[in-house]
């Protein structure tokens, strides 16, 4: 029996809606389960004390600091490189051999398992450069890992800016760089920021690469050359070695809360930035009139 166009459309919409709801339900179930198990463990002492007994007692102060420092190093290094590469690909090339090589390299980096990144970081940063197990080694390794995400999202955001914006800027006598900096960047900032936020989320949740590069020290790091243990590595160690299920769930719950705060906070700041910029433009336009 042949279905009508309306019936086919309703069935397709129902399947798509069911698939979307299934994804939301699975995510909600995981988050609720971890929060229900982990929230009772969270306390001020848990957040401010250093782990003791391999993590069986004490808190997670040093893993929190280690996570922030490793992620900061990775993002600070990868963001200018990734955005700069995206600008070059979107604005300065015409699809030649160099462009294909850069895109192929970025796509290849995106498909490499994290343990391979960790092995490379261990051999190159830890051993060859002599940085040892340290925050710097872990941050540099993570920077290479998140580069493809920043490059691809930034390039798509820049390419999504209408060509009329550039043409208008050029017609007013602006140079190529002035057009990119004053016109293209502000229009593409939301997409670029989303890519950076995704990269931060991946950095915070990474384990395999950091075990081999940042180490697993429970001491409070005193410099970028000190070893550290991130929250994701701490959670993995506590859970896999059955050291303290309660502390493991508490660490996992804090990770979820941290990632949620990063995403929501970044979006709020970005929306305020765009809103304030729009108001300034309107004010300037009103003065000219």
Query: For residue 57, what are the β-bridge partners?
Result: 52
The answer on pLDDT for 6 being more than 80 is no
Mean pLDDT of 45-59: 88
- Mean pLDDT, rounded, of the chain: 87
Q: Which pLDDT value is given to residue 283?
A: 58
160 Cβ contact partners less than 8 Å away, ≥ 6 residues apart? 188, 191
Q: Is residue 234 within 8 Å of residue 55, measured between CB atoms? A: yes
Q: What is the pLDDT of residues 244-287, one digit of tens each?
A: 889 999 999 999 998 888 888 777 877 776 676 665 555 555 55
Residue 24 pLDDT: 94
pLDDT at 93: 81
pLDDT tens column, 84-132: 999 998 888 877 778 888 888 888 888 888 899 999 999 999 999 999 9
Distance CA 47, CA 69 (A): 16
Write down the pLDDT at residue 250. Answer: 92
Could you give the domains of the chain?
A: 37-284 (1.10.3720.10)
Q: How far is CA 56 from CA 67, 99, 187, 246, 252, in A?
A: 19, 51, 49, 9, 15
Q: At what angle do helices 5-38 and 245-288 cross, to 10 degrees?
A: 120
How far apart, in Å, are the Cα atoms of 55 and each of 132, 160, 246, 254?
23, 47, 10, 15
pLDDT at 287: 58
Average pLDDT, stretch 20-32? Answer: 93
pLDDT on residue 198? 85
Provide the whole-model pTM.
Answer: 0.85
Task: In whole angstroms, give the CA distance from residue 121 to residue 109.
Answer: 14
Residue with the larger pLDDT of the pair 17 and 202: 17
What was the pLDDT predicted at 15? 93
Spell out the SS3 assignment of the chain.
CCCCHHHHHHHHHHHHHHHHHHHHHHHHHHHHHHHHHHHHHCCHHHHHCCCEHHHCECCCHHHHHHHHHHHHHHHHHHHHHHHHHHHHHHHHCCCCHHHHHHHHHHHHHHCCCHHHHHHHHHHHHHHHCCCCCCHHHHHHHHHHHHHHHHHHHHHHHHHCCCHHHHHHHHHCCCCHHHHHHHHHHHHHHHHHHHHHHHHHHHHHHCCHHHHHHCCCCCCCCCCCCCCCCCHHHHHHHHHHCCCCHHHHHHHHHHHHHHHHHHHHHHHHHHHHHHHHHHHHHHHHHHHHC
Q: How confident is the model at residue 289 (pLDDT cuts 50, 70, 90)?
A: low
Residue 213 has pLDDT above 90, yes or no: yes
Count of CB atoms situated within 10 Å of the CB of 157: 23
Mean pLDDT across 222-238: 91
Can you give the pLDDT at residue 225?
94
């Amino acid at each position: 029996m042949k279905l009508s166009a309306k019936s086919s459309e309703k069935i397709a919409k129902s399947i798509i809606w069911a698939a979307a709801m299934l994804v939301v339900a699975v995510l909600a179930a995981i988050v609720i389960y971890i929060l229900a198990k982990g929230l009772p463990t969270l306390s001020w002492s848990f957040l401010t004390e250093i782990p003791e007994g391999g993590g069986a007692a004490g808190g997670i102060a040093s893993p929190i600091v280690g996570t922030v420092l490793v992620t900061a190093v990775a993002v600070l290094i990868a963001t200018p490189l990734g955005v700069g590469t995206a600008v070059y690909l979107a604005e300065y090339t015409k699809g030649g051999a160099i462009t294909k090589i850069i895109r192929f390299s970025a796509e290849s980096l995106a498909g490499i398992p994290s343990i391979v990144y960790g092995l490379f970081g261990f051999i190159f940063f830890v051993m060859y450069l002599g940085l040892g197990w340290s925050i710097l080694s872990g941050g540099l390794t993570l920077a290479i890992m998140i580069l493809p995400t920043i490059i691809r999202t930034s390039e798509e955001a820049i390419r999504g800016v209408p060509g009329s914006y550039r043409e208008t800027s050029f017609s007013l006598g602006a140079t190529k760089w002035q057009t990119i900096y004053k016109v293209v960047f502000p229009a593409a900032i939301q997409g670029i920021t989303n890519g950076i936020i995704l990269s931060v989320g991946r950095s915070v949740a990474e384990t395999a690469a950091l075990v081999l590069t940042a180490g697993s020290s429970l001491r409070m790091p005193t410099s970028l050359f000190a070893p550290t243990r991130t929250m994701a590595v701490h959670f993995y160690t506590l859970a896999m070695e059955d050291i303290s299920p309660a502390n493991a769930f508490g660490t996992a719950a804090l990770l979820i809360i941290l990632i949620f705060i990063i995403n929501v906070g970044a979006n709020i700041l970005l929306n305020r930035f765009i809103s304030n910029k729009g108001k300034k433009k309107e004010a300037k336009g009103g003065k000219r009139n």
